[in-house]
Chain A
């Protein structure tokens, strides 16, 4: 339980950072870099979430004998 709460805060932190970076770059006039930064942030978070999902599905497989 403890490690998961850290992961949630890490994900939310990167999400907020991405949003701020997006707004910052937009005001600086670099619209395309803003979208790239958002994509990068979403990609990082997606990697963590997919890793967590893989972990969940493996555990469900062993618990429910879903081979």
Chain B
């Protein structure tokens, strides 16, 4: 039962952060970062399995691998940016979090351009 481990882990980490926040807020932030990373590492294996299934399906439906690769990249960038932005917000740095999210949006936009181009090409072919 993975979920009970994860919830127990999160609660223990939360209590430790509260204890440390009175004396050393910076160390409390570091503990919360470490706990966040540990929780996600626990689930990363499952995400890898889901992605394998997705790739298998897309290979069977002979969808072009470039698009699936781009989508995976976008999801990865979105996740890491969200991870960093939330931690900055916990530390009280709302402006920093907004900057991280802005950068992530631009990176995702750059990644999405080939897909948009492909859609436009297909549309042009249909209309001609």
Closest partner residue, chain A, to B73 (CB atom): A66
Do most interface residues of chain A lie in helix, strand or loop, or is the interface mixed? helix
Known A-B contacts A49-B33, A65-B73; A4 and B20 likewise in contact (beta carbons under 8 Å) = no
Tell which of B20, B41, B48 touches A12, judged by Cβ atoms closer than 8 Å: B20
Contact between B76 and A8 (Cβ–Cβ < 8 Å)?
no
Closest 9 CB pairs of A and B: A64-B76, A4-B38, A19-B23, A15-B27, A12-B16, A66-B76, A63-B48, A56-B37, A15-B20
Contact between B23 and A1 (Cβ–Cβ < 8 Å)?
no
Residues of B within 8 A of A (CB): 5-6, 9, 12-13, 16, 19-20, 23-24, 26-28, 30-31, 33-35, 37-38, 40-42, 44, 47-48, 51, 69, 72-73, 75-77, 79-80
Enumerate chain B residues within 8 angstroms of A18, measured Cβ to Cβ. Answer: 24, 27
Contact between B37 and A52 (Cβ–Cβ < 8 Å)?
yes
Contact between A5 and B27 (Cβ–Cβ < 8 Å)?
no
Q: Tell me the count of chain A residues lying within 8 A, CB to CB, of chain B.
A: 34
Contact between B40 and A56 (Cβ–Cβ < 8 Å)?
yes
Residues of A within 8 A of B (CB): 1, 4-5, 7-9, 11-12, 14-16, 18-19, 22-23, 38, 41-42, 45-46, 48-49, 52-53, 55-57, 59-61, 63-66
